Amino acid sequence: MEFTYQGLVRYAYGFANPNHAAALITILLPFLWALRVYLKRMFFKSAVFCLECVLYLGLVLTYSRTGFFVVLISAAFFWGGKYFFVDKIKREHIKLKSFLSKRVLGIVAVLFIIAAVAISFKAADRYFSWLASPEKSITNRFAIWKGATQIIADNPQGVGLERSGFLFTLLYCPPENDITCRTMINSFLTFAVEQGLWMSLLLLSFLFTATFLGLVSFVDTQETKTRRVFILGLLSAIFAGGLSGIMSTCFDLNIANELLNLPQSTELNIYMQSVRKRHTWHIFYFAVNAVIFSD
């Protein structure tokens, strides 16, 4: 299935949905930010920055509104955490000229690059037009999310894999809305509806535990600066993945069913889905082990 916006193809890079690709990019970028901070030689920093620009371009070509805003928010989370908690920069100690030249101008340059690419590929209109004139793809989400809570209340044990959208469309869609959906447009609500409330609470407890352990290490001032920066990158990746999951359905569970039931699915999509899931779980696994086995 090919996704388009005003006649322009939304690139999915092997996934069945471009939002899946956008979610992966938002998770990868914080690790590159941390790597760029860690590297000392300008040549290697520049090489990492060039790789970042490739990912920014790839993100723009997905035309994913969720991915665009998640990157902005996670960037503020990462760089704000670095400057004010790792570097311990206090406002009264900031020399305006130095701060503008080294930090703000660098951020502005990145935003300018993203904006220029977005305008060139006519993605900026998709990112911001909904603010003035909300589309149904935006407003319908609130009705779907409300319906999801009703389904969970009626079926706390879960309704079964890939049945959430069908059940909502058939029984829980408000009469005034004509909504047909495959999922709950929210990865966590979709998981809760399909797998049940208790499985959802188990998943959330694992995610919150990984985040908590990462935060404990990050706020430990005895940790080295390098280690804290990489922990911050890890936390930013978890934050980006979680925010992507809240704002869209970007983590589908059943890969095999896609191949069996959806003719448009390809072996490449199945492989990409499995790679992303495997590495996403590796991120959370590393978050726990990095703290447990730390010196």
Kindly report, residue by residue over 213-225, the tens digit of the pLDDT: 889 888 887 888 8
Q: pLDDT at position 8, please?
A: 76
Q: pLDDT at position 292, please?
A: 46
Could you say which DSSP state residue 185 is in?
Answer: S
Instruction: State yes or no: pLDDT of 90 exceeds 90.
Output: no
> Is residue 200 very low, low, confident or very high in pLDDT (cuts 50, 70, 90)?
very high
The contacts of residue 181 (CB under 8 Å, 6+ apart) are 140, 144, 165, 168, 169
For residue 28, what are the CA distances in angstroms to 51, 144, 216, 238, 280? 11, 29, 22, 10, 10
CA-CA-CA-CA torsion sign (29, 80, 228, 96): positive
User: Lowest mean pLDDT: which of 41-55, 220-234, 247-261?
Assistant: 247-261
For residue 190, what are the CA distances in angstroms to 44, 47, 144, 291? 41, 39, 10, 30
Q: What is the mean pLDDT of the chain?
A: 79
User: Is the distance from CB of 288 to CB of 210 less than 8 angstroms?
Assistant: yes
Q: pLDDT at position 3, please?
A: 78
Could you say which DSSP state residue 175 is in?
Answer: T
Kindly report, residue by residue over 25-62, the tens digit of the pLDDT: 999 999 999 999 999 899 999 999 999 989 998 998 89
Q: pLDDT at position 240, please?
A: 94
Residue that wins the pLDDT comparison between 138 and 109: 138
Q: pLDDT at position 268, please?
A: 56
Token digits of residue 216: 């404990």
- 167 three-state secondary structure: helix
Instruction: State yes or no: pLDDT of 98 exceeds 60.
Output: no
Instruction: State yes or no: pLDDT of 261 exceeds 70.
Output: no
Q: pLDDT at position 295, please?
A: 43
Place of tokens 């998981």: 191
Please report, rounded to a whole number, the percentage of residues in the chain having pLDDT higher than 90: 37
Residue 156, φ and ψ in degrees, nearest 5: -65, -20
Q: pLDDT at position 44, please?
A: 94
Taking the C-alpha atoms of residue 21 and residue 249, their distance in angstroms, rounded to an integer, is 12
CA of residue 200 relative to chain centroid, distance: 19
Q: pLDDT at position 284, please?
A: 47
For residue 197, what are the CA distances in angstroms to 8, 148, 164, 188? 39, 12, 13, 10
**What's the burial of 263, exposed, middle or buried (CB within 10 Å: 0-12/13-18/19+)?**
exposed
Strand partners, 4: 9
Residue that wins the pLDDT comparison between 116 and 224: 224
Instruction: State yes or no: pLDDT of 280 exceeds 70.
Output: no
Residue 7 CB coordination number (10 Å): 6
Instruction: State yes or no: pLDDT of 289 exceeds 60.
Output: no
Taking the C-alpha atoms of residue 156 and residue 85, their distance in angstroms, rounded to an integer, is 41
> Is residue 161 very low, low, confident or very high in pLDDT (cuts 50, 70, 90)?
confident
